């Protein structure tokens, strides 16, 4: 099996200007997937400029020093290639897919967008208009509103997981200028934190050469560091209601700051615990009781949302008809309480270990799946080798480690409950 390991098949290069390139050949299909990231996400937004990371990423394909937006789009669309750049909480992520013969076009377009964006003012006006509409559209969703309110209760306003109100966000976006975007780009986009992972029908050595040719001369600011304190658990449980009109379905979220990051030593144990509790609506404890047995909901699950570079929230989320809200909250909390008190069962542990390693393998069946896993391993400093040993690591987690993680990370007794929808 050794010769098929990711470690032995993946080429890793570091360019002198700091760009990291991972390339993995997979000749099964004449396509190439690219997954990339750099440190220019929301966390790095200046005060009162929420949304600037997303607008900057969104402006990259709206024109460069040498090409208009339409020319860029025409070139990619005419060969059926896709290149998307978007901002997340901490990173900007790049994802692209093309036929292998068009990979050069994708990479040169990406380089052009990263290095020479022209940020045309009329395009910013249009992008702001679409972003505003999309925020308003999202505000109509009960789930979005419930999670937004939860983050406002459990995180301080300066924390990247705190979601500002739509009103504040819209006002700040309205004020955003091309100068501000240009400044953010100049100060945050640089080669030092750029990671490019390329998987597919392509020669690994030529990927290295092409990246070096196109991006090797790029100089820019040193990557920004993340210095984020852990968010403490709130002292007491609270309940909030977000009233909305004409919504036959109610979204309920019950959650708290998780205290869990990818770098936490018990990250795997905590995730096995969550899988048993609520990862799957059809087969986890919450789903078996609240959906399958009580028939209250189409969807119930629990998750560590964004336990990555930061400690995002842990939450249980359930949708119900307005008349079933209290019943669903009571039932969900009882199950979490029971899980915390009694811990995971032996057969749950075994099932979840086998489920996680199985779904991990299935996720690696596609070029884009492999690219995403490689990028994540690199981002968190785990190395390519992590993909080879991941199943062993999951299988090695013990029952007492999981139970320890349950006690450390799940706190239903102090959780905030938010109900969003139409209740009379």
Residues whose CB is less than 8 angstroms from the CB of residue 343 and which lie 6 or more positions away in sequence, other chains included: 399, 402, 403, 406
As a whole number of Å, the end-to-end CA separation of the chain is 62
Rank residues 182 and 369 by Cβ distance to another protein and give the closer one. Answer: 369
Least distance from another protein to the Cβ atom of residue 124, Å:
13
Q: How far apart are CA 42 and CA 53, in angstroms?
A: 5
Least distance from another protein to the Cβ atom of residue 146, Å:
12
- List interacting residues with another protein (CB under 8 A): 28-31, 33, 69-70, 73-74, 76-81, 97-99, 126, 129-130, 132-134, 136-137, 139-142, 244-249, 280, 282-283, 288, 291-299, 319-321, 324, 351, 354-362, 365-368
Residue entry with tokens 């032995």: 8
Instruction: Write out the two tokens for 325.
Output: 């809200």
Rank residues 84 and 226 by Cβ distance to another protein and give the closer one. Answer: 84
Rank residues 130 and 407 by Cβ distance to another protein and give the closer one. Answer: 130
Least distance from another protein to the Cβ atom of residue 412, Å:
23
| Alpha helix ranges (H) inside 10-99 | 52-59, 69-77
Are 262 and 91 in contact, with CB atoms under 8 Å apart? Answer: no
Residue entry with tokens 């309920």: 252
Rank residues 253 and 257 by Cβ distance to another protein and give the closer one. Answer: 253
Least distance from another protein to the Cβ atom of residue 143, Å:
9
Q: How far apart are CA 8 and CA 185, in angstroms?
A: 36
Considering only CA atoms, give the Rg of the chain: 23
Rank residues 19 and 107 by Cβ distance to another protein and give the closer one. Answer: 107
Rank residues 8 and 129 by Cβ distance to another protein and give the closer one. Answer: 129
Least distance from another protein to the Cβ atom of residue 409, Å:
22
Residues whose CB is less than 8 angstroms from the CB of residue 146 and which lie 6 or more positions away in sequence, other chains included: 242, 251, 252, 253, 317, 418, 419, 420
Least distance from another protein to the Cβ atom of residue 235, Å:
33
């Amino acid at each position: 099996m050794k010769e098929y390991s990711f470690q032995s098949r993946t080429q890793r290069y570091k360019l002198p200007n700091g760009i990291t390139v991972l390339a993995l050949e997979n000749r099964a299909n004449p396509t190439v997937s690219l997954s990339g990231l750099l440190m220019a996400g929301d966390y790095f937004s200046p005060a009162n400029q929420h949304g600037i990371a997303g607008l900057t990423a969104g402006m990259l394909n709206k024109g460069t020093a040498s090409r208009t937006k339409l020319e860029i789009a025409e070139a990619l669309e005419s060969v059926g290639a896709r290149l998307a750049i978007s901002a997340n909480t901490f990173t900007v992520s790049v994802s692209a897919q093309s036929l292998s013969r068009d990979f050069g076009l994708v990479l040169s377009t990406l380089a052009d967008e990263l290095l020479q964006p022209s940020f045309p003012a009329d395009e910013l006006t249009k992008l702001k208009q679409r972003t505003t509409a999309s925020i308003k559209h999202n505000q109509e969703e009960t789930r979005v509103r419930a999670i937004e309110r939860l983050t406002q209760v459990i995180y301080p306003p300066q924390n990247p997981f705190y979601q500002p109100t739509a009103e504040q966000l819209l006002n700040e976006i309205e004020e955003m200028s091309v100068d501000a975007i240009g400044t953010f780009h100049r100060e945050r986009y640089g080669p030092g934190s750029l990671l490019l992972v390329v998987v597919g029908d392509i020669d690994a050595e030529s990927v290295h050469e092409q990246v070096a040719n196109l991006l090797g001369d790029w100089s820019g600011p040193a990557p920004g560091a993340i210095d984020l304190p852990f968010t403490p658990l709130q002292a007491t449980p609270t309940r909030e209601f977000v009233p909305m009109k004409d919504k036959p379905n109610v979204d309920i979220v019950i959650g708290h700051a998780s205290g869990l990051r990818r770098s936490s030593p018990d990250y795997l144990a905590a995730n096995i615990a969550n899988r048993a509790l609520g990862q799957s609506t059809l087969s986890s404890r919450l789903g078996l009781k609240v959906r399958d047995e009580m028939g209250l909901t189409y969807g119930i699950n629990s998750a560590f949302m964004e336990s990555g570079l930061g400690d995002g929230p842990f939450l249980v989320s359930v949708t119900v008809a307005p008349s079933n809200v209290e019943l669903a909250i009571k039932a969900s909390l009882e199950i979490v309480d029971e899980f915390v008190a009694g811990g995971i069962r032996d057969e749950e542990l075994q099932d979840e270990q086998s489920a996680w390693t199985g779904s991990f393998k299935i996720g690696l069946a596609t070029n884009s799946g492999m690219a995403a896993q490689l990028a994540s391993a690199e981002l968190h400093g785990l190395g390519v080798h992590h993909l080879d040993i991941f199943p062993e690591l999951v299988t090695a987690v013990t029952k007492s480690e999981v139970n320890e993680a349950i006690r450390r990370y799940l706190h239903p007794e102090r959780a905030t409950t938010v109900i969003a929808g139409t209740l009379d």
